[in-house]
Structure 1
């Protein structure tokens, strides 16, 4: 009699638990991160001998949380990569839109500037044409400013997103640590819903910073960044922070708290959205801004040199057309010496946009890129012999201490500092500085090619010159000399220079006089008109026009690559999600079948109890009778 009651009671309790679990599954069918649960039943040990053995019913052996740890590991890895690419693609698209849209790109104002120069070349005495050139130059400067400002705003947006992301990371890390504590207290198998909540937060954390997990024997999980730094160790969460960059305190970098102090985290140590932000800044935003500044530097350098080589409408030596701030130099926050560095562009043909880091080891200076790769550097760092690297000259003043570091940004921000230096259209130096007359008696093939002002102060006192060739290799200037002549080498003295083509002969003579005011000469502005296609960057291989196209193409290519990578990763992430659902997701049809099966079993167990009660009542009645 007791065996029947015990078996029936155990069955009622077991199937009640099974029905409750099925109901729990159905109720959470749409709950994000929920893993299906299953009750495993087993026979309770019976009693008796082999001939008289009697079972004692059923018991709940285990409550299974149906989850695949390998699939989950792939899921959080995919979440980290997806988060990284989402940020990288979204922000890269914004840079691409700036550089390629006709309303914001350099192409239109650059084309207008070149056309305006052609207008002055066609009518060098026209005030209207000259005013149009200054207007086009001003619009070009404004576009450089606007682009640099928008890129600078993107940099600030990155900082804001980093700060907000750090807050979310610390919140999630704290919640994971608290859930670890609760799971340890409850026992791992007794807390499937807590494990779901923890996994969901781990996945959210991975989307922010990437990372991996390591399960512990007590049921807790340790969480690490992509670079292996601990974010959660058992019931203790490490604090992530956004700290000022040691070179540029207006920018933020990530750091992780540790007993030894804050440990900076580079882009390689962090994946997820925060890693994507850092990668965007280092691989897309900074190069785009430096490339823009490199173009601005090339424009200022080229056009200033040509403008200063000619004379303006009033006959005065040309002054620079544009002004530009020197390269930025920033000292590391930990520097202890008194040294300061001053940088200037020394060679536009070798100028590169990437930052340089100069380090002093106590004996010598060395230069590297921001990624640590070495950069060749000449000179000794003095005013007489400055350091020269990547087209930048650097002069060191004061005393550096061992370990001192400086960051040199050759072109970053240059576009924002570009200014138009001319305000009077008549100061445009359209004319060549000198008029050259060849003697009628010349017998050689030498012809005047071009003249330039090489020193405005010295040229101010120029009153004319006569060059007489003694032979094809020797000449005098106003009777002074003789001087050696080499074909292709300009002849110059007192702030001016003359270039010849062909070969002079003995007795040939050239007379030079100042170009008078209000001259219709357009030789210098014609030289200026050719600059848009003249090779100036990359050792003379790239013109500014080509440089604009290359920068636009580079930014667009990076954005497209990020977009395609995001699409591919989204497909992978969806596949992993489907795989997880096949293991952990709730199938309502299956749960309905289980509900019916357990309901029937519960009813049968109840009938066993009813039968046991009937037998018991019959037994009592028989005893009473």
Structure 2
């Protein structure tokens, strides 16, 4: 009878604990990272009575955590990569919207500006057209500055994101290290404690990418995507944000170990932090540089064309746009006191790529800051022989460089934020060709000047009146100088201008080239300015300004679409990894309900065993009272 009672009691206790475990599973069905648990039952050792062994009931030998390390590892890998791509996609799409939307992009004010130049070429003396051109020019410059400010805002968001993420990484790493300390050496740790650690590791990898490695004793070491140790046993590393050595306003991430700081780049970090760094280096920086290149090339090209014209006051045109010099920054660790000065050079050679200038003790060396590849450069850095690299001229302004002093040259980054219109007076718009041609009324030939254009605005005699007199159909003089041979259709060039003659000049024919003068309605230079958007001035004369604008929008849009496609593909992979993990560790309500009913019936049956034992005991007591 006592054996019957003991057997029933063991069953009641075992089924009660099994019911509690099922209830625990159901209660945590929505708990992130929870792994379902299962009670493992085992028959108690039987007692030998001579005739054989008789069972003694059941006992709980383990509450097993249903988890698979391979499935968990796959989920960690996919989760870190998904976080990186989602972060990259979100920021890239925001940039795409900035450039592609009509209200915020550059295309609309760009077109309006050149439409205004074209309108001026049709009415060069019209005050309304001149005012309209200045207004559209200011609108275009303002849009350049606005876009550059938005890009700076995204850069600041990256800084804020890095700061916040680093704080979360350090918090998570500390908690994981603490849990490692609690779990380490424990032969039978709590499944809930293990779930908590796995969930924290998943969150940590979501920020940094990487993986987790289980070591002896149940401890888990966590490494970043680049293999940097974040948690080793019960010790947590620390991430910090540090200022960029060339641009203090920009933050980088560094690993702090034993008092040393190791800067981590996009190859060393994945997850959200890796996505932020990758967005900045592969999408944001190239877009800022290309936007600046377009703004710089527009200013250079338009200024050159405007300088070749004459305004309403009879003066040669000055710069239409104002633009700052290319940016050059010294490394924080430089020991010399050299100061470099920059100036824009050949727009066709301007590519916007950053250049690292290093002084090796005797000469300057130019390399790519990311790859270390050598970049061609000429010059020595003096005022008479400046360094010329990627369309920028660099001279040593003052001081002396020390060996291995480094400078970061950014030819076009930030240039769009500094562009402005240099003139305010509509009368200063140089719409006219500075010189004009007149035909002597006594001419007998059919020659007529055409194609008059300015070839050298710096020529001191550009505006000097000149007479071209033909001795005969094959010879001419210029202000008595010559004679010069002439063939029909050839170009006549002098004093920084050139022209051709249509028809056939006769002996004694005279053509005069003289200054256009003030208040001219001539539209020759305005016509040239109106076509500058199609001038092939970029990439060595192979790319137009219009093509560069379209290429910039396409570049940003392509990066956004690629990031979006990659994020969608990774989401599918992650969902598959999550499903594989859930098939092992996830709580299934139907399965738990079935177990609940089964265990409830078993518990009731065990209670009947207790009741039977009680009945037998009461019968025995009743028999002994008689």
Structure 1 residues 271 and 58: alpha-carbon distance in aligned structure 2, compared to 1, 3 A threshold: same
Structure 1 pair 502–248 and aligned structure 2 pair: CA distance change class (3 A):
farther
Q: Which secondary structure state, in structure 1, belongs to the residue aligned with residue 357 of structure 2? A: strand
2: CA distance between counterparts of 1:202 and 1:490?
79
| Aligned positions, number | 621
Partner of 2:390: 390
Aligned to 1:420: 421
Q: Aligned to 1:396, what secondary structure does the other structure show?
A: strand
Report the alpha carbon displacement of residue 350 of structure 1 after superposing the two structures with TM: 1.6
Partner of residue 412, structure 2: 411
| Distance across 2 between alignment mates of 1:610 and 1:501 | 126
TM-score, normalised by the number of residues in structure 2: 0.91
For 2:454, the equivalent position in structure 1 comes to 452
Give the SS at the match of 1:317.
Answer: coil
1:39, 1:60 within 8 Å by CA — same for their partners in 2? Answer: yes
Counterpart in the other structure of 2:527: 526
Query: Any residues of structure 2 matched to 1:329-344 within 5 Å, and which?
Result: 329-344=328-343
Distance 2:277 2:28 in 1: 37
SS at 1:139's partner residue?
helix
Give, in angstroms, the shift of residue 270 of structure 1. 1.2
Residue 295 of structure 1: CA displacement? Answer: 0.9
TM-superposed CA distance for 1:614, in Å, is 5.5
User: Are the structure 2 counterparts of residues 5 and 221 from structure 1 closer, same or farther at C-alpha, using a change threshold of 3 Å?
Assistant: same
Of the structure 1 ranges 604-613 and 57-66, higher mean CA displacement relative to structure 2 is found in 604-613
C-alpha distance in structure 2 between counterparts of 1:484 and 1:128, whole Å: 46
Counterparts of residues 506-585 of structure 1 (less than 5 Å): 511-585=512-586
Measured after TM superposition, the shift of residue 126 of structure 1 is 1.6
Contact conserved, 1:212 with 1:224, CA < 8 A, in 2?
Answer: yes
- Asked if the contact 2:443/2:506 (under 8 Å) is kept, the reply is no
Query: SS of the residue aligned with 1:227?
Result: coil
Distance (Å, rounded) in 1 between the aligned partners of 2:393 and 2:40: 76
The separation in 2 between residues aligned to 1:18 and 1:598, in whole angstroms, is 7
Query: What CA deviation, in whole Å up to 9, does each residue of 1:114-138 have, x standing for no partner?
Result: 1111122111112221111111111
Tell which deviates more after alignment, 225-234 or 167-176: 167-176
Deviation, structure 1 residue 148: 0.9
- Could you tell me which residue of structure 1 aligns to residue 139 of structure 2? 139
Contact 1:114/1:532 (8 A) holds in 2: yes
- Give the C-alpha shift of residue 262 in structure 1: 1.2
- Aligned counterparts of 2:564 and 2:512: Cα–Cα separation in 1: 65
Q: Assess, with a 3 A threshold, how the Cα gap between structure 1 residues 458 and 2 changes in structure 2: closer, same or farther.
A: same
Measure how far apart 1:60 and its partner are.
Answer: 2.2
| 1:621 Cα deviation from its structure 2 partner | 7.6
CA distance in structure 2 between the aligned counterparts of 1:459 and 1:215, rounded to whole angstroms = 83
Contact 2:83 2:275 in 1 (8 A): yes
Deviations 1:528-548 (A, max 9, x none): 111111111112222212211
Change (3 A) 1:108 1:188: farther
Once residues 503 and 370 of structure 2 are traced to their aligned partners in structure 1, the CA distance between those partners, rounded to angstroms, is 52
Contact 1:3 1:54 in 2 (8 A): no
Find the counterpart in structure 1 of residue 112 from structure 2.
112
Distance 1:328 1:619 in 2: 103
**Aligned equivalent of 1:157:** 157
CA-CA distance at 1:455 after TM superposition: 4.5
1:393-440 per-position Cα deviation (integer Å, ceiling 9, x unaligned): 222343322332211111111111001011111111111111234677
Q: Which runs of 5+ in 1 are unaligned?
A: none
Counterpart-to-counterpart distance in 1, 2:470 and 2:254: 72
Closer/same/farther in 2, CA of residues 618 and 101 from structure 1, 3 Å limit: same
Aligned to 2:250: 251
SS at match of 1:536: strand
SS at match of 1:435: strand
* Alignment deviations for residues 294-344 of structure 1 (CA, whole Å, 9 cap, x no partner): 111111011100110111112111111011001100111111122222222
- Are the aligned partners of 1:309 and 1:433 in contact in 2 as well (CA < 8 Å)? yes
Which segment is superposed worse, 14-23 or 521-530? 14-23
- Secondary structure of the residue aligned to 2:284 is helix
Alignment CA distance shift 1:552-1:27 (3 Å): same
DSSP-derived class of the 1:519 partner: coil
Contact 2:42 2:61 in 1 (8 A): yes
Distance 1:472 1:158, change over 3 A: farther
> RMSD of the TM alignment (CA)?
3.1
Alignment of 1:316-327 (within 5 A): 316-327=315-326
Aligned-residue offset at 1:357: 1.4
Query: Given the alignment of the two structures, is residue 313 of structure 1 paired with residue 312 of structure 2, yes or no?
Result: yes
